[in-house]
Amino acid sequence: MNRRYRKTIIAGNWKMHKTPSETRQLIDELKPLISKAKWCEVVLCVPYVDIPIALRALKDSPRIAVGAQNMHHEESGAYTGDVSAAMLKDLGVKYVIIGHSERRAYYHETDTLVSRKVHLALRAGLRPIVCVGETLEQRDQGVTLDLITVQVKAALSGVPVEKLRQIVFAYEPIWAIGTGRTATVEQAGEVGASIRATIRKMYGARAARSVTIQYGGSMTASNAHDLLAQLDVDGGLVGGASLKASSFAAIVQAANQ
Ligand code: PGA
């Protein structure tokens, strides 16, 4: 990470875990443990139904923001069961995960759809956390950097330079998500640097320096410190380890050192 130019952001991705009452409980446990975290922004990306209770529980903690895990790619309309960017914004949500590999895999979300969502999120005033990453097969074929360049370019297509800082990228190798198998610090650092190089080519060095690039995929208290020591790893998108106050707080602490 490089705090001089960009924010360190640790985001928890709760996925489909925690009921509203469990949300209250987890946040109450978490708050005192991370109250001293001055150097990084903390985000809790919770299920839609947990958003109101999370916002209420965090009213007195301005440094902990609430995020959603998805949003629809149209502004509004006949999309039964879906949630729009404007709805999230109106509630008080600040971040939204876009293009998580689980959504790409199970709901067939393409780079084109990701791009539409990025535009809508920005227009609504939400900060997109755009997930990119390769499968194990793609890594073995040696196409990781090429593939991620395509994903990054697609997500940024048509995004003006003044909006760039609003976007957070999360490098999440699919083979590392929920598997206990973390990328090596070299792998995380290499892909982070490559994402920044792509942004630099599109927007110039100054703009590229300001973008937060997270790593995600089995990040834990024990590997967070080394991963975050990489210049182009400016935070984490944390799944499993964000579901317990103690393990998530330990990662936030690692980001504060
Ligand atoms: P994990 O999930 O930390 O459980 O691997 C990360 C993610 O999917 O965002």
The CATH number linked to 98 is 3.20.20.70
- Is residue 190 assigned to a domain? yes
Q: Has residue 164 got a pLDDT over 90?
A: yes
Instruction: Quote the domain boundaries for residue 102.
Output: 8-255
Is the distance from the beta carbon of residue 177 to the nearest atom of ligand 1 less than 6 Å?
Answer: yes
Of 100, 109, 119, 134, the active-site residue reads: 100
Amino acid in position 145: L
Is the distance from the beta carbon of residue 216 to the nearest atom of ligand 1 less than 6 Å?
Answer: yes
pTM exceeds 0.95: yes
Average pLDDT, rounded, for the chain: 97
Query: CB-hemisphere CA count at 13 Å for 188?
Result: 33
Residue nearest to atom 2 of ligand 1 (CA): 239
Distance 223 CA to ligand 1 centre (A): 14
Q: In which band, very low, low, confident or very high, does the pLDDT at 35 lie, cut at 50, 70 and 90?
A: confident
Q: What pLDDT, on a 0 to 100 scale, did the predictor assign at position 195?
A: 98
Give percent of the chain with pLDDT exceeding 90: 94
For residue 103, list its beta bridge partners. none
- Is residue 222 assigned to a domain? yes
Q: Total domain count for the chain? A: 1
- Is residue 2 assigned to a domain? no
CA–CA–CA angle 26, 101, 68 (5° rounding): 40
Contact 218, 182 (CB under 8 A): yes
Q: pLDDT tens-digit profile of 195-240?
A: 999 999 999 999 999 999 999 999 999 999 999 999 999 999 999 9
C-alpha–C-alpha distance, residues 23 and 51, integer Å = 9
Contact 125, 112 (CB under 8 A): no
- Is residue 3 assigned to a domain? no
Q: What pLDDT, on a 0 to 100 scale, did the predictor assign at position 39?
A: 85
- Is residue 1 assigned to a domain? no
- Please indicate whether residue 100 is annotated as part of the active site: yes
Q: What pLDDT, on a 0 to 100 scale, did the predictor assign at position 134?
A: 97
- Is residue 250 assigned to a domain? yes
Of 41, 102, 109, 172, the active-site residue reads: 172
Q: What average pLDDT does the segment 87-112 reach?
A: 98
Residue nearest to atom 6 of ligand 1 (CA): 239
Amino acid in position 53: I
